[in-house]
Structure 1
Amino acid sequence: MQYQNEQFQEIRDGIRSLCAGFPDEYFRQIDEQRGYPEAFVNALMGAGWLSAMIPEQYGGSGLGLSAATVIMEEINRCGGNAGAVHGQMYNMSTLLRNGTAEQKARYLPRIAAGELRIQSMAVTEPTTGTDTTQLKTTAVKRDGRYVVNGQKVWISRVQHSDLMVLLARTTPLAEVGKKSEGMSIFIVDLKDAMKQGLTVRPISNMVNHETNELFFDNLEIPEENLIGEEGKGFRYILDGLNAERTLIAAECIGDGRWFVERATRYANERIVFDRPIGKNQGVQFPIAQAYIDVESADLMRFKAAQLFDAHQPCGAEANMAKYLAARASWEAANVCLQTHGGFGFACEYHVERKFRETRLYQVAPISTNLIFSYVAEHVLGLPRSF
């Protein structure tokens, strides 16, 4: 497809060249140490890849979401994990599309220069999950500042970010006409917040993904850190979530291609009964199916990204892209592990690490069942199920 293979080939080549300096062994050691790939992230920022969506007037490349998805895809296809950096891209879109001119001038040049990271988005809460309109965290305006109280959970990269996008309720639920109203989004300076009202509690997990519980105790946020109009935050955040789901679809496509390539290579090299195991249809057919599924998901990824870049509605396409790509990468992971047999469980082959990493996207950032519900209600016109 010309759109994928030619338009973005320079980006693909650039990311592959950078990733060549961070081979599988680098990411295996980071995983074993339960560490953060600081050197890799610094290299990406230094080369300007994480400021791809920032307009040129602020020091960025002025590219769209389509290009950003290619960057994320290639990181994963090269054996890395873009989950360490993808927040920079979708949080960027929230600021770009809804921030004031003053906010953009204040933050974007420093983000483009690699001086600031905006890696974190605080939406999910322990008692509400994906029922975002029921969130309990409040932001009450007092004397030109907002005072925040509440709790968030599964908030990623807080410990490796300078800025965070926060969704909180500014008008009580009982006082709004629609439950999606009365929520607002803010930019939070994390270094200041951790000194005067924000407590961060890390959550250990199976994929070495830096994620946390957050506790807000009278955290004060300056009024000028409100993004957009007060009470319209839910609408703004959906824009960022569409970008998030499209980016993660691209990461899954990168994972899927990594699994297919590794399975194919091993099936050609592994000799049993004096013949490569890839000669057996029982081995080659599942790999072929995995390849087909990944390539099919890729088409929906680009459809969603193109709509987003054109400022067209893309909620259905973003959700479907995430579903198709996450399913394809997970099936490719199973095929790759099965092809390797017992060696697939050996850390030195790197399959088990990638296997764990791609499994996450069956659950996050939105589960498969919630995508089904979205499509059923918003696309097919079926009654709301919850």
Structure 2
Amino acid sequence: MHFELTDAQRAIQDSVGKICNRFSEDYWAGLDDVRAYPDEFVKALTDEGWLGLMIPEEYGGGGGTVSDAALVLEAITRHGAVAASAHAQMYTMGTLLRHGSTDQKARYLPRLASGELRLQAFGLTEPEAGSDTLSMRTTAVRDGDHYVINGGKIFTSRFQHSDVMMLIARTTPQEQAQHRTHGLSVFLVDLAEAGDAISVRPIKTMVNHETNQLFFDDLRVPANNLIGQEGEGFTYLLSGLNVERILVASECIGAGLWFVDRSARYAGERVVFGRAIGANQGVQFPIAQAFAQLEAASLMRWQAAAMFEAGHTKGYEANTAKLLASQASWAAANAAMDTFGGYGFAEEYGIERRFREARLFMVAPVSNNLVLAHIGQHVLGMPRTF
């Protein structure tokens, strides 16, 4: 086991950090005020190849690993930027690279690597099903050399800034499925070809996060855009979700360390009653506790990444990394708010914006309660809770 970053890994962090440093707190605060998408920031990441990092070199990508992508996203959030604006193109690669056809890879990967196409949207969650993915109602029915898709999705982020969407739909009615996880299929949807068959309702949230409710009305998708075998999509989906958990954990770790850095510095500079507030255990200890939690979460993140890269598909490590990292980041956010006091609520310090962002990952992309239920049932062998 190696617990130190290599020179190459540090170079990744440094390079991404230099990009982030070009976008000040004023840039992010300004976008937050008007709920705008960070087009310039995403373009900078794209132009320097970071969003194509996980695409193999033979298709024009960086040929990087999940661990490399984790370093990128951690660096983004540690420098105060918003990684959620761009992370989907990395985590959807888990499904496409492991289960996509040679033709699909040849058609899409070079254009994704070059930035000609953006794969930032992932249609999974539905209004009625929520986290109960297997109860989704969106259907895909074969019609000649196409599938016709009807239904809808919710919380589909970055749809308005994507050219391609990964979409999961039911190709076998639930009551006819061979087993509970059978009957779902994954598709690549060309949004330019979809046209009016997809309608969109933007959803305003407490953070600046471009997310939407989608409605599909006889959406026709070519059959050769089906990933893998019909009906086996849930298994393929796990490849992408495990990567998603690892990368979101990395975002949380970076954001948590940003809070720790800001809090520790401010606690050493802010003088009240004749002494720096950091000399008080009530201020110092929560910051130190959050830092320790972040370090522990980071180790689980690296274990999850190593296991994925070794070909493991079970999600305990990836889900646990997300659980621990989101909790540690939230602890750091609260410690920062307590440290800054009233100034933490002032927009000029940036704490309140990132405080709101930190809360999201306690419930997304999977609720921490569902992670605990997974551990209780599938790891500890206790009765099913849902």
Q: Give the TM-score range, shorter chain.
A: over 0.9
Q: Is the 8 A contact 1:154 1:212 kept in 2?
A: yes
Give the corresponding residue for 1:89.
90
Please say if 1:372 is aligned against 2:366. no
Partners of 2:233 and 2:375 lie apart in 1 by 23
Could you say if the C-alpha distance between residues 376 and 2 of structure 1 is closer, same or farther in structure 2, counting changes exceeding 3 Å? closer
Letter in 2 for 1:257: L
CA drift at 1:279: 1.3
Partners of 1:32 and 1:148 lie apart in 2 by 36
Partners of 1:208 and 1:88 lie apart in 2 by 19
Letter in 1 for 2:55: I
Please say if 1:252 is aligned against 2:268. no
Structure 2 residue matching 1:353: 3-state secondary structure: helix
Letter in 2 for 1:283: V
Please say if 1:186 is aligned against 2:187. yes
Q: Is the 8 A contact 2:239 2:313 kept in 1?
A: no
Stretch deviating more after TM superposition (254-263 or 19-28): 19-28
Aligned pairs (5 A) from 1:126-145: 126-145=127-146
Aligned pairs (5 A) from 1:63-212: 63-193=64-194, 195-212=195-212
Partners of 1:382 and 1:239 lie apart in 2 by 25
Unaligned runs of 5+ in 1: none
Structure 2 residue matching 1:191: 3-state secondary structure: helix
Partners of 1:172 and 1:371 lie apart in 2 by 27
Question: What TM-score do you get using the length of structure 2 for normalisation?
Answer: 0.98
Letter in 2 for 1:155: T
Q: Is the 8 A contact 2:344 2:352 kept in 1?
A: yes
Question: What TM-score do you get using the length of structure 1 for normalisation?
Answer: 0.98
Letter in 1 for 2:131: T
Q: Is the 8 A contact 1:307 1:314 kept in 2?
A: no
Give the corresponding residue for 2:312.
312
Q: Is the 8 A contact 1:250 1:301 kept in 2?
A: yes
Give the corresponding residue for 1:50.
51
Structure 2 residue matching 1:110: 3-state secondary structure: helix
Structure 2 residue matching 1:4: 3-state secondary structure: coil
CA drift at 1:210: 0.6
Give the corresponding residue for 2:18.
17
Give the corresponding residue for 1:361.
361
CA drift at 1:331: 0.6
Unaligned runs of 5+ in 2: none
Q: Deviations over 1:174-216 (max 9, x none)?
A: 21121210110000011222x2310011000001111100000
Aligned residues: 385
CA drift at 1:16: 0.8
Could you say if the C-alpha distance between residues 359 and 65 of structure 1 is closer, same or farther in structure 2, counting changes exceeding 3 Å? same
Q: Is the 8 A contact 1:155 1:213 kept in 2?
A: yes
Letter in 2 for 1:317: E
CA drift at 1:23: 1.5
Q: Deviations over 1:338-378 (max 9, x none)?
A: 10000000000000000001100011011011001101111
Please say if 1:341 is aligned against 2:341. yes
The CA RMSD measured in Å over matched residues stands at 1.0
Q: Is the 8 A contact 2:165 2:189 kept in 1?
A: yes
Give the corresponding residue for 2:300.
300
Letter in 2 for 1:117: R
Q: Sequence identity of aligned pairs in percent? A: 53
Q: Is the 8 A contact 1:53 1:65 kept in 2?
A: yes
Give the corresponding residue for 1:268.
268
Letter in 1 for 2:49: G
CA drift at 1:4: 3.0
Q: Is the 8 A contact 1:245 1:322 kept in 2?
A: yes
Give the corresponding residue for 2:216.
216
Give the corresponding residue for 1:225.
225
Q: Is the 8 A contact 1:92 1:118 kept in 2?
A: no
Letter in 2 for 1:198: I
Partners of 2:6 and 2:66 lie apart in 1 by 16
CA drift at 1:65: 0.4
Partners of 2:378 and 2:116 lie apart in 1 by 41
Q: Is the 8 A contact 2:238 2:313 kept in 1?
A: no
Q: Is the 8 A contact 2:171 2:183 kept in 1?
A: yes
Q: Is the 8 A contact 2:184 2:234 kept in 1?
A: yes
Q: Deviations over 1:104-155 (max 9, x none)?
A: 0000001110111111111110111111111100000012110000011111
CA drift at 1:241: 0.5
Letter in 2 for 1:25: D
Could you say if the C-alpha distance between residues 315 and 261 of structure 1 is closer, same or farther in structure 2, counting changes exceeding 3 Å? same
